[in-house]
A and B are shown apart, each in its own frame.
Chain A
Amino acid sequence: MSMDQALQTYIEESHGLLEEMEAILLRLENEPQDDETVNAMFRAAHTIKGSAGLFGLDAIVAFTHVVENVLEEVRDGALSVDGELVELLLECRDHIGLLIAVVAESGGALDAAQTAAGEALAGRLRARRGGAPAHAAGVPAIHESPVAASGGGPVEGDCWHLSIAFGHEVLKNGMDPISFIRYLSTIGDIVSLAIDDSELPGLEEMDPEACYLSYSIEFRSEADKQTIEDVFEFVREDCRLRIFPPPSHLAAFVERLEHASGNTDMLGQLLIEAGILTGHELETALRAQDSMAAGDTGTRPPIGEVLVRDGLVQKEVVDVALEKQRQIRDHKAQEARFVRVSAEKLDELINLVGELVIAGAGASLLARRSGDAALHEANSAVANLVEEIRDGALKLRMVEIGETFNRFQRVVRDMSRELGKDIGLEIGGADTELDKTVVEKIGDPLMHLVRNAMDHGIEAVEARVAAGKPAKGTLRLNAYHDSGSIVIEVADDGGGLKKEKILRKAIERGIVGPGQNLSDSEICNLVFEAGFSTAEQVSNLSGRGVGMDVVKRNIQALRGSVDIESAEGRGTTVRIRLPLTLAIIDGFLVGVGKSSFVVPLDMVLECIELSEADRQIAAARSYVNLRGEVLPFVRLRDEFEIKAPPGKRENIVVVQYGGQKAGFVVDELLGEFQTVIKPLGSVFRHLKSISGSTILGTGEVALILDVPALLQLGVARDAQRLVRET
């Protein structure tokens, strides 16, 4: 991996971590006592700092260091969490984000104002730190030597402590402890040696050829633990050896652990890699663990506990190792769960699948025509697989909307403070999936709707209390799947839309005529008209007159629709309906004359034959009686001005969209058809009622109907006619 790529990975990782930090902070505000939460936060800051160090991004290291210090104190309980601290940390998180954007991504430096803001934040952080000595003004030194405190001359405390109990057979085996001790003195200084002869029996009882002595040695050496252990290699099986590292090594061990490669997530292996434990020690400890598991209690103590109990490793070191182990596991789990794939490759795949679908349709058609049953059967097997591949490929692009929703936690929190309102955010249907491109494009409209709801929807606390509502307002983001679309709701329990005022204003602006009779829902939806803002007060957050109409346009550009529902005094719900994906649809192919059209299948309810009687009546008006229901319809022949004379029979395709039912009158029903949407060229941009085109297996082009637009067109025409008739 080149440095550039590595840096890119770092930036991506940091964004993830920052998001995590934000989520943690918001959680922390509610549960300040949660240790896990604080720990996770600390780790996130620590990782950002550590990796920034690798890339020499000193500005990031310096600032994050201060943050980390504070978090450390929080973690250790020296500092308690309150709203103020969370606020401060959120600001710090934003500053880190800025640093990463400026320093890491574009390689620049902060301007004077940004630097000053950073220093002010650092200053406030330091002020929060309880008993810690205040650093000099400015950003503290980046590198702190972890072992500085243990400096000074060599002292007893700097020594390895060896405890060796030789087995009785050592001497008989021709090995003399003296030679090991002499050898030991070649790799370091034996500061002191004490013999424990408590095992030595009386002169008469003893076996003069057996060894009864134990030694404890203070040993000063630069050698690592493995080297020291190797001295005793030849008697390893014949003695009990314990090697205790000098206290000053503790810090070094901790550091080495933190920089462990992450190749292993086994605690023992980690300790060995960091040179804290030797392979032999681990084996012994594992055996001890096994025998304990087989013993009375039957429980297997964690290996870390065994190591500490046997004094092989200090508890502090084991704690660090456990922490590291968890990090590695987390990392591995993430790696296992996700594979990073560039969006480009995915798009390419989807495109190819699209071509495959078209080619498959062509093959099916030929197979059907050939009348060869075996070929037909083989072909339908292929078609099934193609369908599965298509679904699978599309699913690759599906992401959960929860992440997008969660970003609003911060928005709601910050804005409610700014507005002086008390607003909570509720999220529902966070696991609802939709296409990544749709998710990316829905962010802005959603943001606008959320701000609008908070600013204009939810009333001030006093007004709420006066209206007998809970003081705390609720904003609810919800998502669910509904007949091939995803529905996203932004709901508030605020004052609702004031319909009279909207109507008055609409008449004022000439959007509706004074005599027009509008339903409640039509009045509500007037707010999506261009240049419409009823806010009496223009705040700096929303209500500047650009807005709802832009929201509507953005959503329509995604082949979606937006709808508003409001009950005065009780709240407003804005419902966005979007297609699940922009690339491929299941269609229903119909024919009118020689032309073919595709209706998105998930909008098709049923198909009925237009009977001769109905045809007579239908010639005069554009609705039929569908089992006692009035079903308005659109004649595609008229709509698209197809010259060919109508066939002997006509059919109605009944479609439903957003609670509205309507029929399309067509000649032929050609059946279900999987299709790839080819966007129309910009020449046809203004064409309503067509959302795209597709290529049939025969090579002919079929137009994909834009059902919502057609319905609207029909409704508008009916309204006009009604106006004319009245």
Chain B
Amino acid sequence: MEATLRIGARHDNGLCKLRIEGELTIYNALQIRDGLLEHLASSQDVEVDLGGVSEMDTAGFQLLLAAKREGARLGKTVRYVSHSPAALEVIDLYNMAAQFGDPLLISARQ
């Protein structure tokens, strides 16, 4: 399995738009965590585009959860948008769509 990952960031008026491209899994967990931390520190709000997530596992899911909680702790907003089917499936399985509180497309499975 090739661990490919790209995190693209665009800053726009205190809002940081991140796009995760590739696998949101344990293989990249460290890298993603550092990326998230970095951007969260420098911006007021973070919007993470999950459209490019090709695969996601519990480690990845856990990261999203932790980032969201971190944001709340710092009084910042962390939002996830444009979930890819792979991401949706995990969030769905974990029954966490509501907790993520983001606009979420109805998953194709249902």
A residues lining the B interface (CB < 8 Å): 171-172, 176-178, 181-182, 192-195, 197, 200-204, 206, 208-209, 211-213
Distance A211 CA – B60 CA, assembled complex (angstroms): 10
Q: Is B66 at the interface (CB under 8 A from chain A)?
A: yes
Let me know if A203 and B70 touch, CB within 8 A: yes
Q: Look across to chain B and name the residue whose beta carbon is closest to the beta carbon of A213.
A: B62
Q: Is B87 at the interface (CB under 8 A from chain A)?
A: no
Let me know if A171 and B33 touch, CB within 8 A: no
Let me know if A202 and B30 touch, CB within 8 A: no
Let me know if A204 and B26 touch, CB within 8 A: no
Q: C-beta contact mask, B60-86 vs A, less than 8 Å → 1, else 0?
A: 001101110110010000000000000
Sample of 21 A–B contacts (CB below 8 Å): A171-B26, A176-B26, A176-B57, A178-B57, A178-B90, A193-B94, A195-B94, A197-B69, A200-B65, A200-B66, A202-B73, A203-B36, A203-B66, A203-B67, A203-B69, A206-B62, A208-B33, A208-B59, A208-B63, A211-B58, A212-B62
List CB contacts (< 8 Å) of B1-58 with chain A. 26, 29-30, 32-33, 36-37, 40, 57-58
Shortest CB distance A174–B (Å): 9
Let me know if B33 and A195 touch, CB within 8 A: no
Q: Is B106 at the interface (CB under 8 A from chain A)?
A: no
Q: Which size class do B's interface residues fall under?
A: 20 to 34
Q: Which residues of the partner chain B approach A206 to less than 8 Å between Cβ atoms?
A: 33, 62, 66
Q: Look across to chain B and name the residue whose beta carbon is closest to the beta carbon of A204.
A: B37
Q: Look across to chain B and name the residue whose beta carbon is closest to the beta carbon of A172.
A: B26
Q: Look across to chain B and name the residue whose beta carbon is closest to the beta carbon of A174.
A: B26
Shortest CB distance B61–A (Å): 8
Point out the residue from A177, A193, A202 that lies within 8 Å of B58, measured CB to CB.
Answer: A177
Q: Is B110 at the interface (CB under 8 A from chain A)?
A: no
A200 with B69, Cβ < 8 A, contacts A193-B94, A209-B26 known: yes
Shortest CB distance B7–A (Å): 14
Distance A87 CA – B62 CA, assembled complex (angstroms): 71
Q: Is B96 at the interface (CB under 8 A from chain A)?
A: yes
Point out the residue from A181, A194, A204, A209 that lies within 8 Å of B59, measured CB to CB.
Answer: A209
Shortest CB distance B94–A (Å): 6
Looking at A176, A202, A203, A213, the one whose CB has the most chain B CB atoms below 10 A away is A203
Q: Which residues of the partner chain B approach A177 to less than 8 Å between Cβ atoms?
A: 58
Q: Which residues of the partner chain B approach A176 to less than 8 Å between Cβ atoms?
A: 26, 57-59
Point out the residue from B36, B59, B65, B67 that lies within 8 Å of A197, measured CB to CB.
Answer: B65
Let me know if A208 and B37 touch, CB within 8 A: no
Q: Which residues of the partner chain B approach A212 to less than 8 Å between Cβ atoms?
A: 62
Let me know if B94 and A203 touch, CB within 8 A: no
Q: Which residues of the partner chain A approach B65 to less than 8 Å between Cβ atoms?
A: 195, 197, 200
Let me know if B93 and A178 touch, CB within 8 A: yes
Q: Which residues of the partner chain B approach A211 to less than 8 Å between Cβ atoms?
A: 58-59, 62
Distance A182 CA – B93 CA, assembled complex (angstroms): 8
Q: Look across to chain A and name the residue whose beta carbon is closest to the beta carbon of B78.
A: A203
Let me know if A209 and B70 touch, CB within 8 A: no
Let me know if B30 and A208 touch, CB within 8 A: yes
Shortest CB distance A725–B (Å): 119
A-B contacts besides A178-B90, A200-B69, 10 pairs, CB < 8 Å: A176-B59, A177-B58, A178-B57, A178-B93, A193-B93, A195-B96, A197-B65, A202-B70, A203-B67, A208-B63
Please name the 7 residue pairs, one residue from A and one from B, whose CB atoms are nearest each other, closest first. Answer: A208-B29, A203-B70, A208-B33, A193-B95, A203-B66, A176-B57, A177-B58
Distance A209 CA – B36 CA, assembled complex (angstroms): 15
Shortest CB distance B72–A (Å): 11
Let me know if B30 and A209 touch, CB within 8 A: yes
Q: Which residues of the partner chain A approach B66 to less than 8 Å between Cβ atoms?
A: 200-203, 206
Shortest CB distance B100–A (Å): 11
Q: Look across to chain B and name the residue whose beta carbon is closest to the beta carbon of A181.
A: B93
Distance A177 CA – B57 CA, assembled complex (angstroms): 9
Q: Which residues of the partner chain A approach B33 to less than 8 Å between Cβ atoms?
A: 203, 206, 208
Q: Look across to chain A and name the residue whose beta carbon is closest to the beta carbon of B30.
A: A208
Let me know if A178 and B58 touch, CB within 8 A: yes
Q: Which residues of the partner chain B approach A200 to less than 8 Å between Cβ atoms?
A: 62, 65-66, 69
Distance A182 CA – B96 CA, assembled complex (angstroms): 16
Distance A243 CA – B30 CA, assembled complex (angstroms): 33
Let me know if A209 and B29 touch, CB within 8 A: yes
